[in-house]
Homo-oligomer: A and B are copies of this chain.
């Protein structure tokens, strides 16, 4: 009969075996990132920030990432859209600034499962086009079962160099990504597990370009996207006052896969 090992970590299904827990496990991957940040209404945005956090700026950060050469996928690849807001966590023990993850869409299920269950990143599925590139123009489309709900466009204006590039590099060297891991009770309301998780992530920026970004949310109906329409429509309803930043970066992401911890 199957029995778990004390020094292993598992994901469902458990009974085919897990992996030896190794705190030094490294995730390594190449990435192209397109980030567009915009100012919104802080009061409205706070509706989606849980108690215990303080919203540091009325800002929505949307980032497209294409990951390739992913070591834990034996060289595989996937795309994601990360939506976050800058926050300060006021816990009993922990006090820190970070990026609170509102939602992440990914076009591959395996990293969705690990991200949710191991680190509380609220990942869900969408179809995400690779960047269409006709220099200096870059664009992508995000959709669910054929229903477009997000488009991102970028016109590069020039490379970032010198001190600006160094600044970008140090800014992206480590980001305090924060997720809310929540596992519901079985057959009852409420949670069996509800924790905030800090998962420091970083990117070694190699090259970067700034430019003009545009971003468009399209509302969907429950028929078009039964499990996500209210998420999309909540984001679409936040006013986009002005784009404050748009940048395209290439580099590597190297992170400690087991480096997350619960914050209190």
Contact with B along A99-136 (1 / 0, CB 8 A): 00111000011101100111110111101111111110
A120 → chain B, closest Cβ, in Å?
A: 7
Interfacial residues of chain A within 232-264, with CB under 8 A of chain B in the complex: 234, 258-262
Complex Cα–Cα for A16 and B103 (A):
9
Residues of A in contact (CB 8 Å), total: 102
Partner of A109, one of B7, B13, B16, B125: B125
A52 (CB) vs chain B CBs: closest residue: B1
Interfacial chain B residues near A53, Cβ < 8 Å: 1
Q: Is there contact, CB below 8 Å, between A50 and B1?
A: yes
Judge whether A68 is part of the interface by a CB distance below 8 angstroms: yes
Q: Is there contact, CB below 8 Å, between B113 and A50?
A: no
Q: Is there contact, CB below 8 Å, between B182 and A12?
A: yes
Complex Cα–Cα for A252 and B133 (A):
14
Q: Is there contact, CB below 8 Å, between B124 and A113?
A: yes
Judge whether A94 is part of the interface by a CB distance below 8 angstroms: no
Q: Is there contact, CB below 8 Å, between B143 and A148?
A: yes
Judge whether A158 is part of the interface by a CB distance below 8 angstroms: no
| A–B pairs, 20, beta carbons within 8 Å | A1-B49, A1-B50, A4-B194, A14-B50, A16-B230, A73-B227, A75-B133, A75-B138, A109-B125, A110-B228, A113-B113, A117-B117, A129-B146, A143-B147, A146-B148, A147-B148, A183-B193, A186-B195, A187-B258, A187-B260
The 8 closest A-B pairs by CB, nearest first: A13-B122, A109-B125, A21-B189, A75-B134, A75-B132, A143-B146, A141-B146, A12-B122
